[in-house]
Amino acid sequence: MAAPAPRVDEPAPLALANTLWIDRHGVHDALADKDYVQAWIRAVGKRLDVRPAPGSTDGLRLEAVGRLIEVRDAFRRLAAEATGDSRDLVASPVPDVATAVSLINAASAAETVWPELRFQRRRGLARQDAWSGDAFAEAVITVIARQAIELATSPRWEMLRACEAPACAYFFIKEHRREWCSALCGNRARVARHAQRQHNR
């Protein structure tokens, strides 16, 4: 079953958390497909504006995939605790918050990524993350872990929600009157509520 296209219109840690999805056949992990992981890393890296240092490569090693999944599962554990998420079907395998914090801190600690100040004619001064080392994937994982720390310690963390639409595994930031992660989930939730009301008559 093909994974949905990478969602990069949200903070990178949330985009990573939302690589699990549910359909009528069960729970699926987009990161189980190496080709998808490569496409996801490229799409998110471009959005994060992570730029390669001279001599770096953009290969994807198996251990990088494992580390990406670890960071994803650690973030999902923190998000589940923050939102009171009770969706057992997509519960994180990370056993507790302390372990999740440890995994995110370890991923954040890589010394092969650093911020640089760049001058661009259209944008003026801008921050970009530069990296060196063996793989672009490692740099993206480090930046995502650092953004997870920033998000979890920011006021936006209070607005984090687990989508309560039927058969959804996603988290989202509640902004304005938003109640679900997407319009599709909103429609599904309304249909389910209507069906429940009909059943209770």
DSSP string, the chain: -PPPPP--SS-HHHHHHTTEEEETTEEEEGGGSHHHHHHHHHHHHHHHTEEEPTT--B---HHHHHHHHHHHHHHHHHHHHHHT---GGG--SS-SHHHHHHHHHHHHT-TTEEEEEEEETTTEEEEEEEE-SSBHHHHHHHHHHHHHHHHHTSGGGGGEEE--STT---EEE--TT--SSSHHHHHHHHHHHHHHHHHH-
Left (φ > 0), alpha (ψ -120 to 50) or beta: where does 152 sit? alpha
Mean local confidence (pLDDT), 133-144: 85
List Cβ neighbours of 84 (8 Å cut-off, separation of 6 or more).
Answer: 162
Give the integer Cα–Cα distance in Å for 88 and 27.
11
What pTM, to 2 d.p., does this model score?
0.86
d(CA 13, CA 144): 6
pLDDT band at 199 (very low <50, low <70, confident <90, very high): low
Q: Which of 38 and 200 is assigned the larger pLDDT?
A: 38
How many residues in the chain?
201
Give residue for tokens 């672009």: 136
The residue extents of the domains of the chain are: 12-157
Q: For residues 125 and 119, what is the distance between their CA atoms, to the nearest angstrom?
A: 5
Q: Which pLDDT tens digit goes with each residue over 18-71?
A: 999 888 889 999 999 988 998 898 889 888 888 766 666 666 788 889 999 999
**Chain mean pLDDT for the chain:** 86
> Which pLDDT tens digit goes with each residue over 56-108?
666 678 888 999 999 999 999 999 999 999 899 899 999 999 999 999 999 99
Q: What is the pLDDT of residue 195?
A: 58
118 beta partners: 126
User: Worst-scoring range by mean pLDDT, 5-9, 60-64, 121-125, 170-174?
Assistant: 5-9
Predicted local confidence at residue 159, as pLDDT:
95
